[in-house]
Structure formats: structure tokens, C-alpha cells
Structure 1
């Protein structure tokens, strides 16, 4: 698989809610770099920690967190950029903004993910401390 095909397959599985298949595209020692200054910010290492963070995010949003691609994937060597739009609700708070997910893919496995948000301060306020 090309690096773009790996990220595309991950995204399709995630969009269907097929977490086991989505996670099968990750290296066991993957790292997820969540930006900002909120309760989810920081680097999660390993599938268990990444899975817990994503599960906690879905719990905090009562399952309303949705991430949708807005443009085709772009590749540069082992890196894949995925422009996205994400939205979620938590209590009386809502968020909807653009972002970019950057994946590092080596040997057909996602090794690292970095997320970027259109307005990190607003995202930090949404997630809280």
C-alpha cells in the first residue's frame, strides 16, 4: 500500500466506526500528538493510550465528534496531509472548524499523527482543562 492508501483505509474504517480495523493501520508503538492546552493535549504513546484518549473524547461529546475530509489527501515521502473539518457537541457547547491531520507512515503502518486546528484557543475552550 502507498502511504496515501494506508491513511485512506484508516479514515474509511474510522468513518464507519470500525475501530479495530482503523487501529490495524497503526504501528503498535504509534504516537499521537494532540495540540493545545486542554485535557486531551499532549502526546499519547501506544495504541492503548491513543484508544483511551479517543474513547474519552467520544465520551465527552456523547459520540457526536465527527471528522470529515475536506480535500484530497496529499503525500510527501512518508508524510500524508489530510485537510479535515471537525465538529462536536458537549453539553451546551458546540465546535465546528477546519483542521489538518498529518500522518507519518512507515512500512504501511501509521507511526505518528499530528493534529492542527484552525483556532486552537477555541478548541481548548471547547475541551476544557
Structure 2
């Protein structure tokens, strides 16, 4: 089961990196609970695939299409949880961010049902997103 969950996480990150919304729609459970960190316009708990897609679309709009997970370092699994250490970045106007993070996915029945995100520079991420 663990390797299957890692495979699902790998497919998720590939879809994010390539903008494959159809695959993302297949992988994210319709009632996903997404925990976005920080104290910015996107922070908080987002419930449901539509709410998550709306948030991600707004992030791309705010970052002028530059927000990206540019590296995935490691995948680790423990039962239905998969942790991925990543690097992400974005630019807009005169602002930029570039930092490491951890994404923690709960995979149930082949779908991502819950997601927690962590960044190594929360204040910088908050300043970027506003």
C-alpha cells in the first residue's frame, strides 16, 4: 500500500508541475480538506475540490503564472500518509519567494483526501501572497 500511495503522490506532483488539471481532478477527492498555512489571503482550511481549484487558480493569477513547485526532493510514506519535501517559488511585480517546504498528503482509496502544507519561511510566503 505504501508504494501505491507514493505513486499517487508522484503522479499528483507531476500533474501540478505540468498543469494537468484533468489528472489533478482525478486524484483529488471531491471532498478533500486542504490546510493552507500562514496568515495571507490563501491561508486556512479549504473544503472540497472546487474550493481547492479556485484557490490554486487565484494563486496562479496573483503570481502571474509563475508559482511553481520546481523540485521534489524526497517522498516518505507511513500508512495512508505521504510526505514530500519540495522547493517552490514564485514572482510578481517586485516581489519574489523561493523556499523549501513539506507537503503531507493523506491518500485513501486511491484519492488524496487531505493535504497539509508547510513552508520553511512562513513570513516571506505571507509577504509574497499578501
d(CA) in 1 for partners of 2:9, 2:120: 21
Aligned pair count reads: 128
Q: Which residue, out of 75, 98, 105, partners 1:96? A: 98
Q: Which residue, out of 8, 14, 17, partners 1:15? A: 17
1:19-98 maps to which residues of 2 (within 5 A)?
19-98=21-100
Q: Within the alignment, does 1:125 sit opposite 2:121 as a pair?
A: no
d(CA) in 2 for partners of 1:3, 1:47: 19
d(CA) in 1 for partners of 2:111, 2:72: 23
Q: Which 4+ stretches in 1 moved above 3 angstroms?
A: none
Structure 1: tracts of 5 or more residues without a match: none
The alignment yields a C-alpha RMSD, in angstroms, of: 1.1
| CA contact 2:35–2:115 (8 Å) conserved in 1 | yes
Give the deviation of 1:23 after TM superposition: 2.2
